[in-house]
Amino acid sequence: MGGEYFMVTYRVDGDDLWHAYTFPTDMLETRAAEFGLDPTDVDQLLEIILYEPHVQEDSDDPDLLHNADTIAKARVALLKRIADAKGNGQITGVTGQSERTAAGPAMTVLDDSGVDHPLEFLKANVRIDQGHYQVKRQFIAKVREKGEATRAVRKARRDRVRARKRESAEVLRDQLLGVAGDPTRQPPLTAAQPTGSANEYEQ
């Protein structure tokens, strides 16, 4: 494991537990690239990152990033989930416990928050690399393109299956009715069918 990480201790309103949360220092670039967000809006990106652990998600949700038809649709859904999780609440942080660390054979502290609130510490240490941001956007675009092609193939397969089922149902209906498209015709009697009354089929 390599790279640099932030570690912050905080909690959100409505949660009595303190959370020590560690995430890569380039995670803001990643979220901005994934959802088409402004990479310079550090406040919004930090809010998303710190509230994400408190959001319940269903992997089958059609509005999740890799399920949604468009990034715009996924972005709207993400911001709504974050807003719902936040409500009117605020993030409460533990002053002096936030760190920026380098991961290697051991975690090495590169900087600590001193007397700063976690959010202030993060804002002061966040660095958005526009080159990395653009590379991530291109990569995500390629991933989504492949995903869209896969979804198109699956949809075509489902459509073919549904079409075959409809055709089979129509063939069976025609066999039972005797004449295609004539729902007034009764199926022909067979030896296994009860005949009922003499007037039953004289409609």
Is the model's pTM score more than 0.85? no
Q: Are 101 and 109 in contact (CB under 8 A)?
A: yes
d(CA 150, CA 157): 11
What is the per-residue pLDDT for 202?
Answer: 47
The domain spans of the chain are 4-128, 130-179
d(CA 184, CA 19): 70
Mean pLDDT of 128-132: 92
What is the per-residue pLDDT for 57?
Answer: 84
Residues 42-85 pLDDT 10s: 999 999 999 999 888 888 888 888 888 889 999 999 999 999 98
Dihedral sign of CA atoms 2, 141, 128, 21 in order? negative
Mean pLDDT of 135-146: 88
Residues 87-109 pLDDT 10s: 888 899 999 989 999 988 888 99
What is the per-residue pLDDT for 187?
Answer: 54
Q: Exposed, middle or buried by CB within 10 Å (0-12, 13-18, 19+), for 32?
A: buried
